[in-house]
Amino acid sequence: MASTNNKDGIDATSLARTISHMNKDHATDLLHILIHFNPLALIQLPLDLEKPIRQLVCDLRGEDVDIRLVDMSLAEMQVQTRAKGAVKDLNGETPMVTHMIPINPPMKSWGERRERLVAMTKEAREGLGLPAEGLLEEVKGNKGKKEEKNGKKAEKEKGGAVIDTYLAPRLFWDGAVAISVAFFFGCYAAIRGGYVEWDLWAWQFTQRWWPLGGAGGFKWLVNAMFWPVLAIHISEMIMFDRSRLAKSDKIPMGSLTWWKWMVSVFFEGYMAFRRYDDKVAELEKKQH
C-alpha cells in the first residue's frame, strides 16, 4: 500500500480509518467519482470500451477494476487501479496505475470529508446518468444499505429545450475543422502504413514543402501528436454525451442519431458543442 501524505496535518488514525472504510464499503462510489472527475482514466482502466459508455458505467462495480483509495488530503484523492494491458510482474500480479482526483474547492478541514465525499458521489452519479442515491448515504449516518434500482433511470429534466435530432455541420467552420482533423488522422495512417518513405511521392512532397525538418520532421510531429490528440477527442465525446445527450432520453445511447453526434464531436470538437448549444438557445428563445 502507498504511504500516506499527511502534509495537511490530518490525524493518521482517522485517515487510515477513512481509507479502509472507503475501500471496504464504497469501491463502486470511488469508481464513479474517478470516471466523472477524471474521464481520461477510462482509457487506462481494464474495460471493454466497445460497450456504450453509459451502459458500461451503469454495469460497473468497484471490484471489476480493483480500485482502492490509497491517500487523501484536503485538496485531492489518490486512487489506484489495475493497469490496462500491462505485463504481469514476477509475482504474477498486474501493476497498479495511480490516478489523482482533485477536490475542488479544497476542504478547509478534515472534518468536512464525510459531507464532501457524499457530495462528490452524488455529483458523479448524476453526471454519469445514474440514480442520485449513492452507497455513501451511509456516511451521513444512515447505516442501512439502500438497494439500487436497476433499470430505473430517474432522469430529471431541469426544463429548457431538448434536441431530439442530429444537426449536420455548418458548411464553412464546422466542415473546415472536421476536414483538418480527418486529414491529421489520415496522415498518421499513411505514416503507419509505410506510405511516407524514401522515394515515395509523399516523402518527396513533404521533404520539399514541409518547413519543419522536411519529411523526417513531418513524421516525427504527427507521431508525437497522435496519442494526445486522440485522448482529447475521446474525452470530448464522453463530455458531450454526459453534459448534453444524457440529460434526457430523446437521443438514446447507441441509436443512429447518437452515433452521428459522436462522430461529429470526434472530428469537430468544440464546433459540435457550439452547434448543439446554439440550437438549444434558439429553441428556448422561441419558447419564451
Mean of per-residue pLDDT scores for the chain:
80
CA distance 3 to 96: 14
* pLDDT for res 153: 40
Of 97-101, 211-215, 247-251, 254-258, the range with the lowest mean pLDDT is 247-251
The predicted-structure confidence for 200-242, as pLDDT tens digits, reads as follows 889 889 988 888 889 999 999 999 999 999 999 999 999 999 8
* pLDDT for res 179: 94
CA distance 288 to 286: 5
The predicted-structure confidence for 134-173, as pLDDT tens digits, reads as follows 444 443 444 343 333 333 343 334 446 778 899 999 878 8
From residue 18, alpha-carbon distances to 70, 72, 73, 77, 115 in Å are 10, 9, 11, 12, 13
Nearest CA among 242, 234, 244 for reference residue 269: 234
Prediction pTM value: 0.47
CA distance 19 to 27: 11
Q: What is the largest CA-CA distance in the chain?
A: 72
12-140 — its CATH code? 3.20.180.10
Helices (H), 128-213: 173-192, 201-209
Contact, 252 vs 52, CB < 8 A?
no
Does residue 196 carry a pLDDT above 60? yes
CA distance 15 to 112: 13
Among 152-161, 184-193, 279-288, top mean pLDDT goes to 184-193
CA distance 186 to 174: 18
What average pLDDT does this structure show over 267-275?
Answer: 93
List the chain domain ranges: 12-140, 173-287
The residue whose grid cell reads 472527475 is: 37
Q: How far apart are the first and last CA of the chain?
A: 57
The residue whose grid cell reads 518513405 is: 197
